[in-house]
Amino acid sequence: MGAFSQLLAKPNVQVWRGAANTHRQQGIVERFNRTLAERLFGHQYTQEMLLAARGSCERSIEWVTRLPAVVAALNGEVTRLIGKKPSEAIKARSVSQKPSSTVPGRTIGLDEPFLPSDTLVRYLYAPVN
């Protein structure tokens, strides 16, 4: 077990890995990574351009100090999918998502039972043949 896995094992964090090179399975994570990069690295590139203007070829590591603040800001913003802040959703026992903009192939109503919070769910982003 690697050092990172040992670190996550202490608070009993489970890591789920998807198939490599299958971005459809990683859609939500990829979108979060894009948002995170947009917020972190724009500032870092500005810092590097200022360093380059002074004749330095140093790389900025400004993103390291900004990361906690950016993650806190992202956790404090309401998301479209669930209509609440991630910081609130993490504390909740269950989270309902808003209906997607696509029309389902069947009627979906409020009388459907909720899945227990410990149920594993697989999201299909493409039809299985």
Please check the confidence at residue 129 and state whether its pLDDT lies above 60. no
User: Which residue has better confidence, 19 or 66?
Assistant: 66
Per-residue pLDDT, 73:
92
Task: Quote the CA–CA distance of 76 and 96 in Å, as a whole number.
Answer: 18
Structure tokens at 33: 């990574």
82 band by pLDDT with thresholds 50, 70 and 90: confident
Q: DSSP secondary-structure letter at 103?
A: P
Average pLDDT over residues 17-38: 77
Q: How confident is the model at residue 13 (pLDDT cuts 50, 70, 90)?
A: low
Q: What's the whole-model pTM score?
A: 0.54
Indicate the helix (H) or strand (E) that contains 27: helix 27-53
pLDDT tens, position by position, 98-127: 766 665 566 666 677 777 777 777 666 665
d(CA 77, CA 83): 10
What average pLDDT does range 92-103 have in this prediction?
69
Beta carbons of 41 and 64 less than 8 angstroms apart: no
Contacts of 107 (CB under 8 A, 6+ apart): none
Q: Is the pLDDT assigned to residue 17 strictly greater than 60?
A: yes
